[in-house]
């Protein structure tokens, strides 16, 4: 960031950004419970449950699905923790990635439109996605809390050019619209 630039908002997406990972985790935990409680063998006694080196198949499958649920949990949290949105008084920044970082910056001077997208469920949960349109490209600020306030903050700055110079005594900085 430039010297004198102020950060207005730093936020991360909600956990719903990784909904597919959370769904996978719950599905894996349900399957682990099914095999852990040996439900297939309770309803069909002829269903085979062979032993592999002293451990029955249901225990192995339970462990496998618990491990897969743990991996889905890690993936979900890494997806959320590795994404950050920064709104300053001059630009909007989206950073994501763990090993390789991706940074997208949009100066307010390039903003043409700021849209808010919310499904019915997102409206109930008071989250949403802000789509910043520059004419050539778009930047998504996904699954954030209080999206209407963020949209208003950005809409107020449409086309604004940041003032980086010193204000002479007794004078006002140039208009920013």
pLDDT for res 172: 54
Task: Summarize pLDDT for 121-132 with one digit per residue, the tens.
Answer: 999 999 999 999
Q: How far apart are CA 69 and CA 48, in angstroms?
A: 25
pLDDT-based confidence at residue 175 (cuts at 50, 70, 90) = low
pLDDT-based confidence at residue 174 (cuts at 50, 70, 90) = low
Ordered by where they begin, the domains of the chain are 17-79 (no CATH), 85-155 (2.30.29)
Name the pTM for this structure. Answer: 0.74
Q: How far apart are CA 36 and CA 50, in angstroms?
A: 15
pLDDT-based confidence at residue 162 (cuts at 50, 70, 90) = low
pLDDT for res 51: 80
Instruction: Say if residue 23's pLDDT is above 60.
Output: yes
Task: Summarize pLDDT for 34-70 with one digit per residue, the tens.
Answer: 988 988 777 777 777 778 788 888 889 999 999 999 9
């Amino acid at each position: 960031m430039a010297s004198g630039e102020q950060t207005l908002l730093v936020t991360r997406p909600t956990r719903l950004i990784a909904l597919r990972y959370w769904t996978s985790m719950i599905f894996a935990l349900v399957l682990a419970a099914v095999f852990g409680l040996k439900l297939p063998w309770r309803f069909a006694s002829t269903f085979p449950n062979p032993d592999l080196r002293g451990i029955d198949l249901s225990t192995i499958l339970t462990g496998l699905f618990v491990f897969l649920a743990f991996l889905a949990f890690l993936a979900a949290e890494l997806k959320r923790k590795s994404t950050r949105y920064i709104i300053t008084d001059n630009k909007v920044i989206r950073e994501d990635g763990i090993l390789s970082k991706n940074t997208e910056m949009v100066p307010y001077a390039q903003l043409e439109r700021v849209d808010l997208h919310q499904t019915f469920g997102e409206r109930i949960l008071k989250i949403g996605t802000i789509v910043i349109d520059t004419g050539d490209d778009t930047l998504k600020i996904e699954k954030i809390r209080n999206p209407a306030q963020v949209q208003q903050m950005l809409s107020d700055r449409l086309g604004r050019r940041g003032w980086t110079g010193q204000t002479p005594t007794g004078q006002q900085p140039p208009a920013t619209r």
